[in-house]
Chain A
Amino acid sequence: MIPEIGHFALILGLALALVLTVVPAWGAWQRNVSAMSLAPGLAMGMLAMVFISFVCLCIAFLQDDFSVTVVASNSNSLLPPIYKFSAVWGNHEGSLLLWGLILCLWTAAVALFSSQLPLLVLSRVLSVMGAIAVGFLSFSLLTSNPFARLLPSVPADGNDLNPLLQDPGLIIHPPLLYMGYVGFSVAFAFAIAALLGGRLDASWARWSRPWTNVAWAFLTLGIMLGSWWAYYELGWGGWWFWDPVENASFMPWLAGTALLHSLAVTEKRGLFKSWTVLLAIFAFSLSLLGTFMVRSGVLTSVHAFATDPARGLFILVFLAIVVGGSLTLYALRAPAVSSRVSFSWLSRESLLLLNNVVFLVATLTVLFGTLFPLIMDALGQGKYSVGPPYFNAVFVPLMALMAPFMGIAPISRWKRDSGQRWKAELLVPGIAALACAVTLPLFGEQYNLWVALAVLLAAWVVFGMARDFWFRVSGRSGAGGSLKRLTPSYWGMVLGHLGFAACVVGVVATSQYSIEHDLKMSPGESETLAGYEFRFVEVAPVRGPNFVADEARFEVYREGRNIAKLAPQKRRYLAGGSVMTEAAIDPGLFRDLYIAMGEPIGEQGAWAVRLHYKPMVRWMWLGAIFMGLGGFITVMDKRYRSQPRRAAVPAKGAQYAR
């Protein structure tokens, strides 16, 4: 009964989405206020229906209703309840419903928090969001119904959730990631509304900015969690594989990063309008393309869901309508004439443009690398695979190219700046960064040029920002500076850039200094790695809720002191019989110690064991958390929250409406 309620609610949700697409858009066209005013209510109704539907699916999972196909194939009665819950999105059908739910959440959020928006704009934005919801909800209902039943032969127990997904990180990774992916639909909807209205101006950029920042922050955290999960769960200490599906989430992130910066220019200076709109379309199109790649089976990936050509075709048609339609609209309506506002080569505008170019090139190279196997196959050139060497070779230099300019950006001025001033301001930070680059790598095992370079770039970014920070706080920038005068937008930028710097150092240090040993160890033996002595104490059988495992007990000593006890496991899950390696990690700000068990060797209780020493690997994720926080903080900026509604802005809005 409950699955049928869910199914029915989903159909109602689709119906409301259809109305939301058509009625407010018609109202905006005809200037019919009552039709336009329906939009927020419809958005709420759509959310309510899809939420009910999602709750029904959750209940089916929690109650072990194995008559529902997705429950039978992705859950098991032995599964701990929290994983039964996360199993809801551990499969194609359920995750698509989650996607739809999150889209409805964003739509409802726009309806709720946009009271300062002119009705005309709001109705257009919600109508575009509604159209996207129509696409996804009908995709769910027509090709991937999560409520399909297995009748009359109901299995006694389910197939179990893929053990790799039975992990705390995976409970929140997909929702966060989808919040980011889908969140770009808001920026997209604003861009389309602006194109339809024919006015791209600073207020448009100001409206889109907080939404874009939040979506970007969610995406950052989602990707971070995915990478962290891969690190501790896959058992070989890697944290990024350039797998097509990772790239699918990374490309919208790169485009979104460009969009954030470009929106800043459009808001502050009214420049790059067409460009910013294109980036907004681009970021969301890449989210859709990611969905297509994950769910159509055109590329091989460890993440790919069970695939079905009908699904692939559906998304492709949807993709063609959304992206093709919006790019056509863009080509017809975007302002073709460049703005009259000018800026010199040495200015903040130029630096932000450079940021945009770098991130766009990065996005395109990742896109090219990801689709290359498909393109060659389609051209009949045979099967190819593009691996990490390609991506590293193009991506790392691009980021390194950008860092020097990132150091200048905070102190730079809009419109026109002088090289003389830059030189004067940045001499001290430059020398300090150089000093760090020379000295800090000395703390590593041996002096490493790549690490020195990374420290140089990161320190340059940090000190450039510190210079600007001091400048503002000490009041030299103008009328009486103090900490209080710093806006959340500014803090967001500081955190974001600090995070980037931490990432750079973390990535380079961990790839240069990591040590790993694969060896055969018997209980009683010990092995020394980077000054840490790993003692293999014993192996004992343990039993979990839905698995049995061999657990190895290790003690780690440094200079004779016991600093950690680690217990990696080799698990065998009861339902599917799959064997999983559960690594044990002793985390630290400056180094992780990591043990994963291989296979038993021989009869004497020896095991193949992999020991890792991973310096500064946490900096990468810490940096991503900083970036995410930075994105969230910017939203608290007053200028987004309390628009002087009755004063200047309604006039602007009214102009917009005309």
Chain B
Amino acid sequence: MPARLKLFLPLILFVVLALFLMRGLSLDPKELPSALIDKPFPVFTLPALGRDELLDKEAVTGEVALFNVWATWCVSCRVEHPYLTQLAGQGVAIYGINYKDEDTAALGWLRELGDPYIASIADREGTLGLDLGVYGAPETYLVDADGLVRYRHVGVVDQRVWGTILQPLYQQLQQEKESQ
């Protein structure tokens, strides 16, 4: 009875959809493809923004630090910037990754808004971003003293994000470092 069978079509479509939704539950759209979590920070050699020196992985790792991907073309970066400055004031180590940006614009931005970064890696071509798996700015990576990426946050870091997610992890990593 084909007429009756046709009425099963919506049900079949729904079952397929439900299977996808179920799979979706175990995927986090905000999460880094897990490849880099607990893996070493990618190796790189790139110029430091506004300084006459080259930075590499060894230069920026060794202590627990945040790596903040930012750019002057990124509106949300403006939003989180004051909070990063505040964090830097509290002694949190933050490195910048100036992502696909122009040096002059980026330096102007730091002059105007303040510079919370120990140093900014000038990733003009986005090569480091590619290795890190950056989708867009802002993103913030928490890297431990051994140079392993421990957490990745997509989007603005504000008091809520810092207080609930990053800070507990940051403190835990620091304790781990001291106990070593």
Contacts and interface: CB of A to CB of B under 8 A. Distances in A.
Interface of A: 159, 274, 278, 281-282, 285, 292, 296-300, 309, 312-313, 316, 319-320, 323-324, 327-328, 330-332, 334, 336-337, 371, 373-375, 377-378, 383, 576-579, 598-599, 601-602
A245 B167 CA distance: 29
Interface stretch (B23-31, B44-52, B88-96, B169-177): B23-31
Contact of A298 (B7, B21, B159): B21
Contact of A274 (B7, B8, B14, B30): B7
Contact of B159 (A332, A576, A599): A576
A319 B18 contact: yes
Contact of A316 (B4, B8, B25): B25
A296 B82 contact: no
A319 B15 CA distance: 11
A412 B112 CA distance: 65
Query: By CB atoms of chain B within 10 A, which of A298, A312, A602 has the most?
Result: A298
A285 B21 CA distance: 14
A327 B29 contact: no
Given A298-B27, A378-B27, A579-B79, A316 B21 contact: yes
Nearest to B158: A578
16 contacts: A159-B160, A296-B24, A298-B24, A309-B25, A319-B18, A319-B21, A323-B18, A371-B17, A374-B24, A378-B23, A383-B29, A383-B135, A577-B159, A578-B158, A579-B79, A599-B113
A323 B24 contact: no
A159 B20 CA distance: 36
B78 interface: yes
A316 B18 contact: yes
Given A316-B21, A374-B20, A602-B112, A576 B28 contact: no
A339 to B, nearest CB: 13
A285 B11 CA distance: 12
B22 interface: yes
A292 B4 CA distance: 30
B159 A299 contact: no
Contacts of B83: 577
A576 B160 contact: yes
A299 B21 CA distance: 10
Given A328-B11, A331-B11, A601 B112 contact: yes
Contacts of A327: 10-11, 14
A278 B8 CA distance: 11
Contact of A278 (B10, B28, B86, B135): B10
B10 A377 contact: no
Contact of B21 (A278, A292, A336): A292
If over half of A's interface residues share one DSSP class (helix, strand or loop), that class is named, otherwise mixed; here it is helix
B29 A373 contact: yes
Contacts of A579: 79, 82
B1 interface: yes
A371 B159 CA distance: 31
Given A316-B21, A578-B158, A377 B29 contact: yes
A656 B18 CA distance: 34
A496 B135 CA distance: 42
Contacts of B24: 296, 298-299, 374, 377-378
B60 to A, nearest CB: 26
A327 B112 CA distance: 60
B100 to A, nearest CB: 18
Contacts of A371: 17, 20
Contacts of A374: 20-21, 24, 27, 29
Given A324-B14, A334-B7, A601-B112, A300 B29 contact: yes
Interface residues of B, number: 36
A330 B11 contact: yes
Nearest to B7: A331
B3 interface: yes
A296 B25 CA distance: 7
A288 B148 CA distance: 41
Query: By CB atoms of chain A within 10 A, which of B10, B78, B113 has the most?
Result: B10
Nearest to A312: B25
Given A331-B11, A577-B83, A324 B25 contact: no
Contacts of A323: 14, 18
B78 A599 contact: yes
A331 B15 CA distance: 13
Contacts of B26: 309
Interface in B67-124: 78-79, 82-83, 86, 112-113
Contacts of A282: 10
A337 B78 contact: no
Nearest to A328: B11
B57 to A, nearest CB: 25
A577 B154 CA distance: 20
Which 3 residue pairs are nearest across A and B when measured between Cβ atoms?
A298-B24, A378-B23, A327-B11
B8 A377 contact: no
Given A324-B11, A377-B24, 20 more contacts: A281-B10, A298-B21, A300-B30, A309-B25, A316-B25, A319-B21, A320-B18, A330-B7, A330-B11, A331-B4, A334-B7, A336-B1, A336-B4, A371-B20, A373-B29, A374-B27, A377-B27, A577-B83, A599-B78, A602-B112
Contacts of B112: 599, 601-602
Contacts of A319: 18, 21
Contacts of A383: 29, 33, 135
Nearest to A602: B112
Nearest to B6: A336
B6 to A, nearest CB: 8
Contacts of B22: 316
Interface string B143-164: 0000000000010001110000
A418 B83 CA distance: 69
Contacts of B78: 598-599
Given A324-B18, A327-B14, A374-B24, A336 B7 contact: yes
Nearest to A577: B159
A319 B7 CA distance: 20
B144 to A, nearest CB: 25
A330 B159 contact: no
A309 B21 CA distance: 12
A127 B3 CA distance: 30
Contacts of A324: 11, 14-15, 18
A602 B79 CA distance: 17
Nearest to A367: B17
Nearest to B83: A577
A259 B1 CA distance: 27
Nearest to A327: B11
Given A316-B25, A324-B15, A336 B8 contact: no
A576 B82 CA distance: 13
A2 B110 CA distance: 51
Nearest to B109: A599
B10 A297 contact: no
Contacts of B15: 324
Nearest to A338: B3
B21 A331 contact: no
Query: By CB atoms of chain B within 10 A, which of A324, A328, A578 has the most?
Result: A578
A78 to B, nearest CB: 16
Query: By CB atoms of chain A within 10 A, which of B14, B20, B25 has the most?
Result: B25
Contacts of A602: 112
Nearest to A373: B29
